Amino acid sequence: MNIPSNPRDAELRRSLVETFNSAARPTRQPWRSASLIAALALASAATGALSATALAQSTPYDAEVATSLALSAARPNSVAIGEPFAVESVGTAIIELGEVPDAATGLAIRTQCMQPGTVNVTLDSTWISSFSCDGEGPGGGGGAVHPAPGPGSNTLSFVSVDETGFKAWIVWVKEPTMPQKSAQQVSELADGIVFRDEYLAAFNRFVGCMSAAGYFVAAIDPTALILNYSISEDAVRSGADELCYESQFMGVDAAWQTQNEDSSETTQMLRECLVRQGIEPAEPRVDIDSQLEAAGIDPEACLVYG
Amino acid sequence: MEPFRAERTVHSVTVDSGDSKDWAPALTGNGEAFGRIFDRHVGQVRRHSRRLVSEPADAEDVVAITFMEAWRNRARVRVVNDSVLPWLLVTATNVAHNTNRSSRRYRSFLASLPVSEPAPDSFSEHGSAEATQALAQLSLAHRTVVVLCIVEGLSEREAAAVLAVPQGTVKSRLSRAKERLRGQLTEPNITGPFYKEAES
């Protein structure tokens, strides 16, 4: 075995290791995620009927672990407030949260699938989200932070459509203030159209910001229409990604992807996925997401490499 | 005399290199697993690259791009006989064939890497200049089978698996490549350090 002995090989190796580490985190395609969530939500809401409600069994999770899991659904540098809640249930579960603690800005909810099915999540009887579990065992689920409700006692319900097995971890959180867009990014967005040079300039500012924070942006193809890149989990956890992305690139990136969305690599992979199933892909991106959902195809499975 | 049969003890591919056990975790986000693959093969990819391009600095870029291509094309990487090396060698050959286009894709990444120390002359270290030049005269398809089957000592079956072509295609390409090389190389160089005559 040849252990790198020169600085170039050592740096190349470090970059490769970091690049492959980022495989655990999908490359950024923000509008794909948003549209998928919307599609899932609509599909779940449409299913309608609810199974009989049964109180969930409280599970004696370690509070620290439960807090950590719930916080993983929140933005970097969010702070947990109060004790976490943990639930493991087959079928519907109801959790009495009590009042919103002082300083809490939201409720972080992390879910994990255990058995197939769909769960609608309501806060004080108002639908806030849904998640679906396929039949491939534990691993699915999701997470999000929902705005803190008003005064008074609060009830969180996981309403199972079909005796879905799941775990959930919940905690009140105080999230940091969102970073402001830089003056350059505001200027680039001012006329409502993003040009290629503006897109590249914003991306380069993002890379520079990340580099200044000590993080590497990997696998850049500067010739691609939609720049595809990866960053490490550490960069996300530290908040550097959010700060750099929001302040330098997010608005421009979103506008550019919207202008060119159907030619992105991700969209192409989803299209190919549909074709393999004998389905002619629709033209607008949002329709592709709907087609995948209707066909029962997990979009993430379409994006798996190797 | 059969001048182009491989001297496997010099440039044989290390089979059972254990890449399979590292490649799978690398694909799911274990960077250190790919780091071990890099450690195992960077030397051989570098030696191979130096045969393909004349400037040592260009060879270093070929090495870096080859491994980055393993990331970009990770869905298509072929592990043959528990080794990613054949795929890396083919990729390095392709990268060297069109260095400009490949470099453009990774321009910013290459610029971020430290400059290498001055390297020994690739010809004197790794083989005759004439043999290297003869290799460069071949088409990409012919050069690739020569590298895999003659320089690196893969069987035709293994090369076919790497290239995703029928074994017969490898056999015919290899035959034609040998003919062309015979026409380009003078006999003394045939037995040089690059192409060694097989022991009879």
Q: Are A57 and A168 within one domain?
A: yes
Residue A281 lies in a domain: yes
**A contacts of B64 (beta carbons < 8 Å):** 8, 12
Specify the CATH class of B8-190 in words. mainly alpha
- The average confidence (pLDDT) of chain B is 71
Assess if residue A124 is contained within a domain.
yes
Residues A68 and A191 in one domain: no
Contact B27 A3 (CB under 8 A): no
Query: Which chain A residues are Cβ-neighbours of B68 within 8 angstroms?
Result: 16, 19, 219
Q: Is position A2 within any domain?
A: no
Q: Which residues of A touch B115 (CB under 8 A)?
A: 8
Answer yes or no: do A159 and A297 share one domain: no
Which of A7, A13, A219 has the CB atom closest to B38's CB atom? Answer: A13
Q: Residues A106, A73: one domain? A: yes
Final residue belonging to a domain, choices A123, A158, A174:
A174
A 10 A CB-CB count for B12 gives 13
Q: d(Cα B135, Cα B49) in Å, to the nearest integer?
A: 12
Residue A204 resides in a domain: yes
Residue from B71, B79, B87, B100 to probe the interface with A (highest A Cβ count within 10 Å): B71
Task: Please give, rounded to a whole number of angstroms, the shortest distance from the CA of B104 to a CA of chain A.
Answer: 8
Averaging pLDDT over each range in A15-19, A196-200, B152-156, which range is the top one? A196-200
Same domain? For A185 and A262 the reply is yes
Q: Look at residue B177 in the predicted model and tell me its pLDDT.
A: 82
Q: What is the pLDDT of residue A4?
A: 61
Q: Give the domain extent around A84.
A: 49-174
Q: How does DSSP classify residue A7? A: H
Domain borders along chain B are: 8-190
Q: Do A165 and A275 belong to one domain?
A: no
Buried b (16+ CB within 10 A) or exposed e, B167-191: eebbbebbeebbeebeeebeeebbe
Cβ <8 Å between A219 and B68: yes
Residue A88, domain member (yes or no): yes
Question: Is B60 within 8 Å of chain A by CB?
Answer: yes
The 10s digit of each residue's pLDDT in A246-304 is 899 988 887 887 777 655 666 777 888 888 788 888 766 667 777 887 888 777 677 65
Tell which of A157, A174, A191 closes a domain.
A174
**N- to C-terminal Cα separation, chain B:** 9
Mean of all residue pLDDT scores within chain A: 76
Q: Which residues of B touch A227 (CB under 8 A)?
A: none
Same domain, A167 and A187: no
For residue A112, name the pLDDT band (cuts at 50, 70, 90): confident
What is the domain-level CATH number for residue A95? 2.60.120
Q: Higher pLDDT residue, B198 or B138?
A: B138
Count: domains in chain A: 2
Which residue among A119, A150, A174 closes a domain?
Answer: A174
- With respect to residue A3, please indicate whether it lies within any of the assigned structural domains: no
- E strands, A21-140, where? 57-58, 79-90, 93-98, 106-113, 117-123, 126-133
DSSP string, chain B: --TTS--HHHH----S-SHHHHHHHHHTT-HHHHHHHHHHHHHHHHHHHHHH-SSHHHHHHHHHHHHHHHHHTTTT---BTTBSHHHHHHHHHHHHHTHHHHHHHTHHHHHHSPPPPPPPPHHHHHS-HHHHHHHHHS-HHHHHHIIIIIIS---HHHHHHHHTS-HHHHHHHHHHHHHHHHHHS-HHHHTSSSSPPPP-
| pLDDT, position B12 | 30
pLDDT tens-digit readout, B109-129: 777 788 776 544 433 344 456
3-state secondary structure B128-156: CHHHHHHHHHCCHHHHHHHHHHHHCCCCH
- The answer to whether the Cβ–Cβ distance between B31 and A21 falls below 8 Å is yes
Contact B31 A16 (CB under 8 A): yes
Kindly state whether residue A1 falls inside one of the protein's structural domains. Answer: no
A183-229 pLDDT, tens per residue? 999 999 888 888 999 999 999 999 999 999 998 887 667 777 778 77
d(CA A228, CA A194): 17
- Comparing C-alpha atoms, which of A165, A54, A156 is closest to residue A96? A156
Task: Tell if the CB–CB gap between A12 and B113 is shorter than 8 Å.
Answer: yes
Do residues A147 and A286 share a domain? no
**pLDDT tops 60 at residue B61:** yes
CB–CB contact B67 A12 (8 Å): yes
Looking at the fold, whether A181 and A42 belong to one and the same domain comes out as yes
**Residue of chain A whose alpha carbon sits nearest to that of B64:** A12
Which residue has better confidence, A176 or A258? Answer: A176
CB atoms near residue A64 (< 10 Å): 10
Mean pLDDT lowest among B76-80, B84-88, B93-97: B76-80
**In a shared domain, residues A245 and A186:** yes
